[in-house]
Chains A and B, each alone.
Chain A
Amino acid sequence: MFDSYLIRKDSLENVYEDGKAVGFKFAVRIADYRGCYLSLHNGYYISVDGAEYPRELQSFEINGKAPRSFEEIKKCVWEHWDYDDEGYVYVKKDGGLEPGKHRIGLQQSVLAQYGYFPFHDEEWVKNPPVPGKGAGAGKTAFICYYELELSEGGNK
């Protein structure tokens, strides 16, 4: 679902700390027709120009709060990501991205479910699926690709 529209096209920019680029970020929407309890959000498969950036390098900004790691997000069991709301995915990368166009591969993992699914329920508590394999990818089972231009706004 929303395969071509999960990342806002003009949202890719570098993230700076103390004047140094420490990574990049982009704006996303939920790949479903409903929002979710925030705790269910389990990270992303992200590749940029062929290089993968695993969940440990990612954080997520939503509900007006500072970016949180997916270990922290997991504990937000009473917070909700509303269907209408955009979040920002932050990815650590020394030096950020080079100016120009980038090819981003994305699969969102949200452990939303329609009730009990005995084939994997207990396993997902112990070993949540690694984003990118289709499991826990909700309504968008394929990895989606986006050609995005690094926004000038990021070069502060």
Chain B
Amino acid sequence: MGIKRGVSFYSYQQTQFFGKMHWKDMVRELHDNLKCDGVEIIDESTIPHYPFPPEEFIYDWNSFLARYDMKAVTKDIYLDVHQFRDHVMTHREAAERLKYDIRLAAEMGFENVRCLCLVPIDVIEMALPTAEKYGVRIGKEIHAPLPINTKGKKQPTQGMAGALSIHMVDEVIELARRTGSKYVGLVPDFGIFQFRPTDLHIAYVKRHVRNTDEVDWLLENSKNFAPHDLDAAQAAFKAKFPHGELSMGEIEGLSLHESSADPEDLRAIVPYICSMHGKFYEMTEIEGQPGHYEDKAINYADPIRVLNEEGYQGYIDSEYEGQRDQQDRGEEFLPNEVEEVRRHHEMLQRLFDATPNKNG
């Protein structure tokens, strides 16, 4: 059996934006060209009139997936705490949104919901009985800049890293163990194995910043700061460029020089993995290997070897994200999402086959 291939329809967001692909075209692409059956969606881009889709859509969805023998693997769900605008959503309200999204996922035949890293663990615990009742697992995403195992690193205090609990993975495993529930787990995103900024992103920021020296300086000097120590990177940047234009988020992204997670740490969490996000930015042909592709910024080979050694047989769903750094220019510069995903699947299958899977 081995590891299974799927696609998050997130990958085709630009093609959908321009009205050139409907979710049914995406299903056909998976079936006819990629020869895979794993479907993942973003609820708020695939489901019409979310959160109250017409019944006709639900029936059409289930029927169409049945026709092509597809598997609804994971539905990505969100938490907008300012929805009510007159107060920040309470945790109990957040749990209601999660329960609602679980019920909707069940209606659409999904096995898992992907819950975001910034969703508090008590919100997940409140929704767990609903997940059990409907047979839908809640998978909390491990997204960069989170580690799997903190290895003694301390909690960052700024930016996205500061808002995320560095102990998120431990919290999820603790909840699963304490409740004995199989309906809470993890969705690791391959972005945690990204070890450098992409060429696409560097070029994008350079097109929008007045002084491109700011970007070059960060790329040259980031290795002098501890990985993911945003405080140090920001202080050094401000000292060098007191009137620098780059935002904290850009400094964080451009300083990346070591992946936030260690592929070896996957071993401990394989039993808790619901599905995985195959995040990638740009597939380029490997020199001297025509028809073989790689993403130069993300380590895929080591994590997949470890997953095979541990006998992981769940899905890796492609999540193409390189388009957004190429949408500030004319149409001739827009990437072809369909082709990018096909290349990604070439790489995935090649790496799956490179080592034996422990469970056959």
Q: Which residues of A contact B (CB under 8 A)?
A: 1-5, 29, 33-37, 39-40, 74-75, 77, 80, 82-84, 111-119, 121-122, 124-125, 134, 139, 141-142, 144
Main secondary structure of the interface of A (DSSP, over half): loop
* Residue pair B42, A33 in contact (C-beta under 8 Å): yes
* Residue pair A35, B81 in contact (C-beta under 8 Å): no
- List 17 A-B residue pairs with CB atoms under 8 Å apart, sorted by A's residue number: A2-B327, A5-B327, A33-B10, A34-B43, A36-B44, A36-B80, A37-B80, A77-B85, A84-B16, A84-B19, A115-B81, A115-B119, A116-B163, A117-B81, A124-B82, A125-B88, A141-B249
Q: What distance in Å separates the Cβ of A68 from its nearest Cβ neighbour in chain B? A: 14
- Report, nearest first, the 7 A-B pairs whose CB atoms are least far apart: A115-B118, A3-B328, A34-B44, A83-B45, A33-B13, A1-B324, A111-B82
* Residue pair B116, A115 in contact (C-beta under 8 Å): yes
Extra 18 A-B pairs, beta carbons < 8 Å, given A83-B16, A117-B118:
A2-B14, A4-B330, A33-B13, A33-B42, A34-B44, A35-B45, A36-B80, A83-B17, A83-B44, A84-B16, A113-B118, A115-B81, A115-B117, A119-B162, A122-B88, A125-B82, A125-B85, A141-B249
| A residues near B42, Cβ cutoff 8 Å | 33-34
Q: Which residue of A lies closest to B13 (CB)?
A: A33
B272 within 8 A of A: no
B247 within 8 A of A: yes
| B residues near A40, Cβ cutoff 8 Å | 80, 82-83, 85
Q: What distance in Å separates the Cβ of A112 from its nearest Cβ neighbour in chain B? A: 6
Q: Which residue of B lies closest to A81 (CB)?
A: B44
Q: Complex: how many Å from CA A125 to CA B82?
A: 7
Q: Which residue of A lies closest to B91 (CB)?
A: A116
Tell me the B57-113 residues at the A interface (CB within 8 Å).
78-88, 94
Q: What distance in Å separates the Cβ of A6 from its nearest Cβ neighbour in chain B? A: 9
Q: What distance in Å separates the Cβ of B215 from its nearest Cβ neighbour in chain A? A: 14
Q: Complex: how many Å from CA A37 to CA B78?
A: 11
Q: Complex: how many Å from CA A122 to CA B50?
A: 26
* Residue pair B83, A2 in contact (C-beta under 8 Å): no
Q: Complex: how many Å from CA A124 to CA B16?
A: 31
* Residue pair A39, B83 in contact (C-beta under 8 Å): yes
Q: Complex: how many Å from CA A24 to CA B330?
A: 25
Contact A2-B45, Cβ < 8 Å, known A39-B85, A77-B83: no
B129 within 8 A of A: no
B244 within 8 A of A: no
User: Chain B CB within 10 Å — which of A3, A111, A115, A142 has the most?
Assistant: A115
* Residue pair A35, B44 in contact (C-beta under 8 Å): yes
Q: What distance in Å separates the Cβ of A65 from its nearest Cβ neighbour in chain B? A: 14
Q: What distance in Å separates the Cβ of B265 from its nearest Cβ neighbour in chain A? A: 23
Q: Complex: how many Å from CA A51 to CA B10?
A: 37
Q: What distance in Å separates the Cβ of B164 from its nearest Cβ neighbour in chain A? A: 9
Q: Which residue of A lies closest to B250 (CB)?
A: A141
Q: What distance in Å separates the Cβ of A83 from its nearest Cβ neighbour in chain B? A: 4
Partner of B118, one of A4, A82, A83, A114: A114
Q: What distance in Å separates the Cβ of A156 from its nearest Cβ neighbour in chain B? A: 28
| B residues near A112, Cβ cutoff 8 Å | 78, 80
* Residue pair A116, B208 in contact (C-beta under 8 Å): no
Contact A141-B44, Cβ < 8 Å, known A3-B328, A116-B163: no
Q: Complex: how many Å from CA A46 to CA B47?
A: 30
Q: Which residue of B lies closest to A76 (CB)?
A: B85
Q: Complex: how many Å from CA A139 to CA B327?
A: 12
| B residues near A139, Cβ cutoff 8 Å | 324
